[in-house]
Structure formats: structure tokens, C-alpha cells
Amino acid sequence: MEYTYRGVVYPAQTDAMGHMTVQYYVAAFDQAFWHFIASLGYHPDWRNSKGEGWADVKYVINYSSELKIGDLFSVRSQVVKVGNSSLVTHHDLLNIEGQICADIEMTSVYFNLTKRESMSLPDAVRINAGAALLKQQ
């Protein structure tokens, strides 16, 4: 697993109980995903230059330990499955002690932004994601 995002919990990211709210866990996972797919060969400019991007179609999230104001955290990411037009990734959100506070399995589909339909993964992403998957095994 590679580290793909680091953050700190700010007061505005917490609820009445003083814990980071769900929307900020999801935001951290989303930002980690973008860094991760860039490391796999997707270039963020393709949204504009090629009209190609990603649509998340499924999230399975587990929360196991709360983060509070001032807590530092990181997200590490790995490939779970490579499909024709989809990529399943897993992301762990860890506190500074290395304890998993939450994890998510995300299914994301490569998407033609103009036609609003799925399309095959770019070759570089497919090759690099496949290599990452083999390396993890």
C-alpha cells in the first residue's frame, strides 16, 4: 500500500460530539483516490483535454476509531481489482499511531464526460494497476 494523502482534523470538520464528520472522511478518501490514480498513469488534465474522468459507483465504508480536532492522519491505497472500464481500490485512513480509523472499498468507472458513459481504462492505468495488484500478492 502506498501513502496517498495526509491531513489534520480542523474544528470546522467536526460534529457536535467533537469527532471528524463522515463528509470529511469521504473527502480524504476521494483526494487519496485522485493521487493514487495519478500514480497509476491517469493525468488529471485528461478531464479537459480528452473529456475523460471517473465516476464512483460504489462505496463500502467501515468506521472503527474516531478522529478528533488536531489529530493527524494519513491514507494508504491499493488496487483490489482491475476491470475493463472499472477499478476497485481500497483505502485505509490511519491515525498518527498507525491505527486504522476507517477504510473504504471504492468502485470507480472510467467515464467519457461528454457522452456520459463508461469507457475502457487507459492502457497505462490498466498496466500499472495490474502490476500493482500483482506486487501486492
Question: Chain centroid to CA 105: how far?
Answer: 8
Yes or no: say if 89 and 27 are a contact pair by the CB < 8 Å rule.
no
* pTM (two decimals): 0.94
User: In the prediction, which pLDDT does 137 show?
Assistant: 76
Sign of the C-alpha dihedral, residues 25, 31, 34, 36?
A: negative
CATH topology of domain 2-124: Thiol Ester Dehydrase; Chain A (3.10.129)
d(CA 137, CA 131): 10
Q: In which band, very low, low, confident or very high, does the pLDDT at 111 lie, cut at 50, 70 and 90?
A: very high
> Where do the domains of the chain lie?
2-124
